[in-house]
Amino acid sequence: MLINHKTVQRLMQELGLTSLVRIKKYQSYKGTTGEMAPNVLQRQFDADQPNQKWVTDVTEFKIKNSQKLYLSTIMDLSNREIVAWQMTQRPVLPLVTDMLEKALARLKPSEKPILHSDQGWHYQHARYRKMLEEQGIVQSMSRKGNCLDNAAMESFFGILKSEFFHLNRFDNIEQLEAGIEEYIHYYNHKRIKLKLNGLSPVQYRTQVLAA
């Protein structure tokens, strides 16, 4: 049974339920633009159609015994869908290039999105930049040390960690990796957003393309 988001909000208020709130832990300062690529995106985190503007970043997860897992993602700003992701236990170059290869496979020949990132070494690497150049993808980079220049991607990582990672315990990396895969599927296909008219990212994309 489908329920309007306003009904959910009213019921939560009547039952005294509240959603988890993510605490913003970062502060921003202006910083400088990198030499590799200008900040083409300029915090314009909206797009009219899919595959116009993408953002990307890497985040780290730590579990017991100091085990680490790194997640690299690309988000489409038209509907906040995670269009490609890759996980590795070390922050190696394939973490980003393998993910990019998956994302590029989704594009039609006429689609040339902006791809925005921070100034991490992965995004400055010659192989990564060559992959973008060969596909005609416009590279955009945040100013140095400025998290807000990539706030949309930072927001997703905050949601993932508050709704999934911090609410569970993991015995090993394989368990964590499987859980992240499951959460991303849920986020893309089932988690509704008010900004998307109460639809999930995939539902919204399907509606836009059918219009």
160 exposure class (CB count in 10 Å sphere: 0-12, 13-18, 19+): buried
pLDDT in tens, 171-187: 999 999 999 999 999 99
pLDDT in tens, 93-147: 999 999 999 999 999 999 999 999 999 999 999 999 999 999 999 999 999 888 8
Which CATH number does the domain 34-210 belong to among 3.40.605.10, 3.30.420.10, 2.102.10.10, 3.30.70.1380?
A: 3.30.420.10
Q: How far is CA 21 from CA 13, 125, 140, in A?
A: 16, 36, 30
Distance CA 129, CA 135 (A): 10
Residue 22 has pLDDT above 90, yes or no: no
Domain ranges of the chain: 34-210
Residue 9: predicted pLDDT: 54
pTM here? 0.85
- DSSP type of residue 199: B
Higher-pLDDT residue of 15 and 180 is: 180
